[in-house]
Amino acid sequence: MIFRLGELFCGPGGIACGATNAQIGVENFGIIHQWANDYDADTCETYRSNICPDAPGTVYCGDVRTFDMSQLAPIDALAFGFPCNDYSVVGEQKGMDGEYGPLYSYGVKALKLFKPQWFVAENVGGLRSANEGKALTKILSELRHAGYKITPHLYKFEEYGLPQARHRLIIVGIRDDINVEYKVPSAIPYAGIDNTCRTAIEVPPIPEDAYNNERTKQSIAVVRRLEHILPGQNAFTANLPEELQLNVSGAKISQIYKRLDPTKPSYTVTGSGGGGTHIYHWAEPRALTNRERARLQTFPDDYKFIGSKESVRKQIGMAVPCRGAQIIFEAILKCFAGIEYDSTVPNVKE
């Protein structure tokens, strides 16, 4: 059984990379790309170059709010990582009242239009508390009314062997008329994996000619500041000389000039932010390169991101980690193939 996958808000292809690489040891059982949509031109080019170089016309660049979905080919599965800006605990958390909050509804629209056998929807953990919890309740209700049995779960990807503490709410839905039940894969089988950020970045060494591996030029002040910050510390927890301290009033974001702890997974890779938010090497006084960030997001080294350095940084930070997506897609495939696997109880109360 081959499932044709459609994607909204596809990003640079983290979900697609995980989906198309998902394998369960059953011949002719897998997921293939059918079409994808995103509003960012660089992001679409990255997706085309890596996921469907032989079918670039199947990636539609445009705003989903004005996009004619009826022109798209039939699909068996849908993925949509709807924009998280208004649900992130780091932002203002406008939820449904923000510009991006209602965009999940286009995923619901696609479900009603195409009636795929299953779907995967992804967002930040902050969605649970947006609008006093009412946003998540509304979204889950609409997904159910579209005709799906749903299983929401907060996945902590570092528990699944990924080299990054990244927590994401992922909702898996299977069409009501299909006698298949999705089970959340257990993290126990991944307990022994070495998922430190040092191993992810250094083993094997990044090739000299790797894509997107240009170093950022750090100012003298930033270099001096980093030289006083120990691994795992940030600009507010380190013992900085007065002239290197940051004059910040109010909330102090813990990731500002935070150096990685090489003995642990990385903290969350983000897609935007000003000075001090670029993720900093544990031993060298510098920000990580985009290729190093991509390793923390489990993209393969031959995955080429298109665009300026800042555009690429944003794409990598907004993506779903490939290996995390693959674990979820393989669980879905096993459910449809009737293969048992270690599972756990969903942790999101509805």
pLDDT digits (tens, 9 = 90+) for 129-148: 655 567 788 889 999 999 99
In a domain, 254, yes or no: no
Cα of first residue to Cα of last residue in the chain, in angstroms, is: 32
In a domain, 202, yes or no: no
SS (H, E, C) 229-253: CCCCCCCCCCCCCHHHCCCCCCCCC
CA distance 76 to 87: 29
In a domain, 299, yes or no: no
E strands of 108-196, at which residues? 118-124, 148-156, 167-175, 184-185
- Return the CATH number at 137: 3.40.50.150
Q: With a cut of 80, say whether residue 275 has pLDDT above it.
A: no
The length of the chain in residues reads 350
Number of domains in the chain: 1
Residue with tokens 């910040």: 248
In a domain, 283, yes or no: no
- Backbone CA torsion sign across 192, 198, 200, 202: negative
Residue 95: per-residue pLDDT: 42
The boundaries of the domain holding residue 22 are 2-192+320-344
Residue 88: per-residue pLDDT: 43
In a domain, 209, yes or no: no
Active site residue 322: no
Do 83 and 117 form a contact (C-beta atoms < 8 A)? Answer: no
pLDDT tens-digit profile of 40-56? 999 999 999 999 999 99
Residue 243: per-residue pLDDT: 85
In a domain, 62, yes or no: yes
Choice among 10, 84, 197, 322 that is catalytic: 84
Q: With a cut of 90, say whether residue 276 has pLDDT above it.
A: no
